Amino acid sequence: MEYLNMDSILGFIGVILVLGGLVMYYVGLGKSVNHIVGFRVPPTMRNPEIWKTVNIRMAKIMFVHGVITTIAGLTISETSTLVPAILAVGILPLLGYMVYGTWYAYELEKRWLSS
């Protein structure tokens, strides 16, 4: 019995990203740094304001990425295009916004320290 067929994997990844974005958004709204969930890089761990700003921004990006991935999962049904689609729409953007989030956190810290 197959619980998750190949056609639904991309949609499943999208739903996970949407839920992850919602969790990160509410974590970002929290009053203190959370050591379990959230975008944790040194600047966010040192400064609660940077923590909040970065987590809220990254949550919005993750949510939008999840919606796009879910739509792609619902529209792509050919198995031959599924693996490239999972990489192009589902996984590679994750790496991109992890790099962006890290850069953004360090930029905020530089601005915070210079003011």
Range of the domain at 10: 6-110
Q: Is 83 part of a structural domain of the chain?
A: yes
User: What is the rounded CA–CA span in Å between residue 55 and residue 30?
Assistant: 10
Give DSSP secondary structure letters for 17-79.
HHHHHHHHHHHHTSSS--SSSS---HHHHH-HHHHHHHHHHHHHHHHHHHHHHHHHHHH---H
Q: Is residue 115 part of a domain?
A: no
Task: Read off the pLDDT of residues 69-80 as tens digits, 9 standing for 90 and up.
Answer: 888 878 876 666
Q: CA-to-CA distance for 63 and 97, rounded, in angstroms?
A: 12
Predicted confidence band at 97 (pLDDT cuts at 50, 70, 90)?
confident
Percent of the chain with pLDDT over 90: 41
Q: What is the pLDDT, as a whole number, of residue 1?
A: 41
What is the count of structural domains for the chain? 1
